[in-house]
Structure 1
Amino acid sequence: MPHIIVLLQSTHHWASRTYLEYESIDDCMDALCRIFEGFMRLKNLYVDNKNYLLELFNFLDTLEDISCVVMQGDSNMYTPHNKLWIKEQLFLRLDRLDCDGMGY
């Protein structure tokens, strides 16, 4: 499984920079969903399942910056990925969960 580092900056202030580490893309995407859900709870906002993906993407767009670097097993090098890639991975992950009857 690839090692993944998420680089996140929530506001324009440099002190809001942080990083998160995961052992798989699925774990990473699940964690980003949990971060989003925690943010929504803090703001006392409710997201129904119909609008979950749209609201999740809107949340990502409010972040100052977010990107991932993913370890490539064959070369032992990290490949950088931008917000669009993260959104694509979230879409794929949530689609697989929905197909498995576990949807968000």
Structure 2
Amino acid sequence: MSHTILLVQKTSAASSKTYIECPSVAKAMDEVISMYEEYLKNKFPHRERIEFDVNEVLEMVYNLPDCAALVFDPRTATYIPHDKSWIQKQVIARAQSRAS
């Protein structure tokens, strides 16, 4: 388990910048997926069931003004930065592990 910090800017406004601390990469990817679920719940408040494809989550990540992850490496005691494409790959892996 590697402590992970998600850095997210949801809109073009600088004030939308935020961060989320997670105990692991898997939990951080759960947070990314949850962000998309919340978006859909807000967009379709009267729907009882929200369904989506992982590709929609990947598109959300791609379209965010800024999104990055810092993953703690205990060997060097530093945080390793990762970009959107890495996050997208991790979201796919997490979605696959949740599906099995």
Contact 1:47 1:55 in 2 (8 A): no
- Structure 1 unmatched runs, 5+: 100-104
| Structure 1: 4+ residue segments shifted above 2 A | 45-49
Q: Percent identity?
A: 28
Contact 1:9 1:16 in 2 (8 A): yes
The structural deviation recorded for 1:74 is 0.6
Contact 2:41 2:50 in 1 (8 A): no
Aligned counterpart, 1:35? 35
Name the amino acid aligned to 1:61.
Y
Moved more, 38-47 or 25-34: 38-47
Name the amino acid aligned to 1:18.
T
- TM norm structure 2: 0.89
The structural deviation recorded for 1:47 is 5.5
**Counterparts of 1:10 and 1:85, CA distance in 2:** 18
Aligned residues: 97
The structural deviation recorded for 1:14 is 0.8
Q: In the alignment, is residue 60 of structure 1 matched against residue 65 of structure 2?
A: no
Question: What root-mean-square deviation, in Å, do the aligned CA atoms of Structure 1 and Structure 2 show?
Answer: 1.6
